[in-house]
């Protein structure tokens, strides 16, 4: 679940976000003016490395000490934040700056931070506090950290990813310092492993007899409005092709497509030159990656190709597909794809422009204070990919890269997919608005804490024009309780974005959604969920937070949803979620089959809320820009306004009423999930945004 993080001057999210601990239980034991803190290691996820040498004493360790806030001051901050973000309150929009928050509301935080800073400077370590001391960054060698915190650092390895990290199982601090610290990032809490790093493996989904010589179909998806087919080659004798294309016996494929509706049959022959069949050990990078995804050994042969010449095969038309291999003297048995599938429109900025009625005056001069940003975590920023996307898919837009913060973005060993997706679509939909990139350091795994440190530095520097909209396409589990809420999407202080997909509407008599790319097809937006018909590979998250109580702004919407869903028996058992807590997402956008540029000029398909969030964020930036040009204040935190608009102006959103989020890997589905419904629901929120209506209402 991705999120928009929208602010005016300073964000309260920085100060009272949920300090939950992932996989670490911390317990303080009082001694003579010293408090020992014990850490319960999440042994179900991390192994202690007994068989490797301990870390070097010169290993650099980076910690962020989070200063403890005064609870009464935080409650006051929450109250004032609620008032200035409530469109019905007389204080609406009267935001204060980052420094003013600390001076007027959180003075105790700075006092505590100064004491921590003075204590830390007694040791031979690098100490770098933020301006108002809410974060104290400490960098030192491992042996200095051990002396400083009276601890021992151990090497742990994550069971699934193999990632290694240094962590303590206990540490000691003087009581006078201990009580000034909320917690220490990088010392005790184990790194959050993002779900997007998990590699799924797939089993064959064509169901042929064991001795058949039919090819094995792994997947049929859609790209460039063409069918993209993934096949393991089987030879004429029924054995898997090994280290060759069946010793030159293989000549290609015959593909039959029978339209599900009118039974029209279309036949295509794909010659060997167009099959892109490769032995896994010798495969190109992308084919080799899919060999891993499909769990093929190095000798196997994977064929991955587009079905070309498809002018008589329409989009959003379901087809039953069968495939046979062509050999020198015969055809193979048929392999049948187990369910109907269809091609869908590839999402580009132009598609988003028409689908969401985006109001963007191309001749409008951008305000000097308009700025937006994305957060990157151990990602490579490929400027060539950004420029290539602008040339190819952004001709009607002006993609403007702003400032780049951090150093880690230059590391070419990192993947660039997430950063390319985020930058390309936020910049396109927020056309001509500078898009900054904030990169977190490679030697640190503190996830959002380091991001907040960087925001504090940006906010304090009076020479900076700080972004008004942030997009974060990363998440970590809040915890384990039936469902798995994703943070920060489950935070009440961000705008959480869900995902949708497009299908052909059955209600052609009352159709209102057309796009130029499909002028004769009435389209309908439904919940994004993994299925073979549209080849959607992602499922929209959603549900209830485990830790955050329900904010006032969404109480009415959520209560209405729960009442209707309970009546219609559309809810999981009550033990699976906390119905009184924060519900998410807040809004949605299409999340299936985006095209991006990667590795310079390579077309790649992407999806998920990692796509919908930056696209939505760019659209919000357009509204902010026009408000600034009209002498109005920027929107600030969106959620109270969104829920108010949904009640008074429901046409500001496209209501999503179909779909469920219980299927995360077709055909396997969970027993329970949340369903889309009229108005607000737990998979698409208030719906997708009608940008043109929002622009008129808010400017």
Q: Are 588 and 684 in contact (CB under 8 A)?
A: yes
Q: Are 593 and 346 in contact (CB under 8 A)?
A: yes
Q: Are 526 and 533 in contact (CB under 8 A)?
A: no
Q: Is 560 a catalytic residue?
A: no
d(C-alpha 296, C-alpha 290), whole Å: 9
Strand partners, 252: 271, 326
Q: How far is CA 185 from the centre of its chain?
A: 22
- Location of structure tokens 């998250």: 541
Cis amide bond preceding 567, omega within 30: no
* End-to-end C-alpha distance for the chain, whole angstroms: 29
Q: Which residues contact 322 (CB under 8 A, 6 or more apart)?
A: 255, 256, 334, 335, 336, 337
d(C-alpha 33, C-alpha 51), whole Å: 37
Q: Helix 417-429 to helix 383-393 angle, to the nearest 10 degrees? A: 40
Q: Is 418 a catalytic residue?
A: yes
d(C-alpha 250, C-alpha 607), whole Å: 34
Q: Which of 388, 540, 610, 688 is catalytic?
A: 610
d(C-alpha 407, C-alpha 384), whole Å: 18
Q: Which of 360, 379, 422, 586 is catalytic?
A: 422
Q: How far is CA 174 from the centre of its chain?
A: 40
Q: Which of 108, 110, 359, 418 is catalytic?
A: 418
Q: Is 359 a catalytic residue?
A: no
Structure tokens given for 310: 């498809």
Buried b / exposed e along 612-629 (16+ C-beta atoms within 10 A): bbbbbbbbbbbbbbbbbb
Q: What are phi and psi of 508, to 5 degrees?
A: -75, -15
Which are the catalytic amino acids? 418, 422, 610
């Amino acid at each position: 679940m991705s999120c928009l993080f929208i602010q005016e001057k300073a964000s309260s999210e920085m100060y009272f976000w949920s300090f939950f601990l992932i996989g670490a239980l911390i317990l303080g034991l009082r001694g003579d003016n010293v408090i020992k803190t014990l850490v319960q290691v999440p042994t179900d996820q991390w192994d202690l490395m007994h068989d490797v040498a301990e870390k070097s004493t010169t290993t650099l360790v980076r910690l962020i000490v989070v200063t403890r806030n005064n609870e009464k001051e935080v409650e006051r901050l929450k109250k004032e934040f609620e008032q200035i973000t409530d469109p019905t309150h007389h204080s609406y929009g009267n935001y204060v700056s980052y420094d003013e928050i600390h001076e007027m509301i959180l003075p105790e935080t700075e006092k505590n931070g100064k004491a921590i800073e003075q204590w830390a400077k007694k040791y031979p370590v690098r100490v770098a506090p933020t301006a108002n001391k809410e974060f104290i960054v400490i960098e030192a060698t491992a042996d200095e950290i051990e002396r400083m915190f009276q601890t021992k650092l151990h090497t742990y390895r994550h069971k699934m990813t193999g990632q290694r990290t240094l962590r303590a199982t206990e540490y000691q601090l003087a009581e006078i310092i201990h009580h000034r610290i909320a917690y220490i990032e990088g010392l005790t809490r184990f790194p959050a492993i993002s779900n997007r790093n998990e590699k799924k493996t797939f089993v064959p989904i064509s169901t042929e007899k064991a001795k058949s010589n039919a090819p094995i179909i792994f997947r049929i998806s859609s790209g460039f409005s063409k069918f993209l087919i993934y096949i393991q080659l089987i030879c004429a004798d029924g054995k898997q092709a090994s280290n060759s294309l069946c010793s030159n016996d293989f000549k290609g494929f015959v593909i039959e497509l029978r339209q599900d509706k009118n039974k029209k049959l279309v036949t295509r022959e794909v010659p060997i030159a167009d099959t892109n069949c490769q032995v896994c050990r010798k495969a190109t990078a992308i084919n080799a990656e899919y060999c891993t995804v499909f769990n093929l050994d190095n000798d196997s042969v994977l064929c991955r190709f587009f079905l070309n010449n498809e002018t008589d095969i329409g989009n959003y038309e379901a087809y039953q597909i069968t495939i046979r291999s062509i050999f020198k003297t015969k055809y193979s048995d048929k392999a049948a794809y187990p369910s109907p599938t269809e091609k869908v429109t590839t999402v580009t900025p132009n598609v988003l422009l028409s689908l969401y009625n985006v109001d963007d005056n191309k001749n409008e001069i951008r305000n000097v204070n308009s700025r937006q940003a994305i957060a990157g975590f151990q990602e490579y920023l490929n400027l060539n990919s950004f420029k290539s996307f602008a040339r190819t898919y952004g001709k009607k837009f002006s993609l403007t890269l702003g400032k780049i913060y951090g150093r880690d973005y230059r590391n070419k060993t990192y993947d660039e997919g997430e950063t390319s997706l985020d930058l390309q679509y936020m910049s396109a939909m927020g056309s001509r608005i500078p898009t900054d990139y904030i990169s977190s350091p490679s030697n640190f795994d503190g996830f959002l804490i380091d991001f907040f440190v960087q925001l504090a530095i940006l906010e304090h520097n009076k020479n900076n024009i700080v972004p008004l909209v942030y997009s974060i396409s990363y998440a970590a589990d809040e915890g384990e309780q039936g469902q798995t809420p994703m943070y920060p999407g489950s935070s009440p202080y961000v705008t959480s974005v869900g995902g949708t997909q497009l299908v052909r509407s059955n209600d052609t008599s009352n159709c209102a959604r057309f796009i130029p790319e499909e002028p004769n097809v009435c389209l309908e937006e439904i919940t994004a969920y993994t299925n073979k018909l549209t080849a959607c590979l992602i499922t929209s998250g959603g549900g209830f937070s485990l830790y955050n109580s329900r904010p006032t702004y969404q109480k009415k919407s959520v209560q209405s949803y729960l009442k209707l869903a309970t009546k219609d028996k559309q809810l999981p058992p009550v033990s699976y979620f906390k119905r009184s807590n924060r519900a998410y997402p807040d809004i949605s956008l299409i999340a299936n089959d985006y095209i991006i540029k990667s590795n310079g000029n390579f077309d790649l398909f992407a999806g998920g809320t990692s796509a919908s969030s930056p696209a939505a964020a760019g659209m919000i930036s357009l509204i902010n820009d026009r408000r600034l040009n009209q002498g109005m204040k920027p929107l600030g935190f969106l959620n109270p306004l969104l829920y108010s608009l949904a009640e008074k102006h429901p046409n500001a959103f496209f209501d999503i009423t179909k779909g469920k989020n219980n299927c995360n890997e077709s055909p396997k589905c969970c027993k329970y999930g949340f369903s889309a419904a009229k108005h607000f629901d737990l998979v698409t929120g208030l719906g997708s945004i009608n940008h043109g209506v929002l622009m008129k209402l808010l400017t």
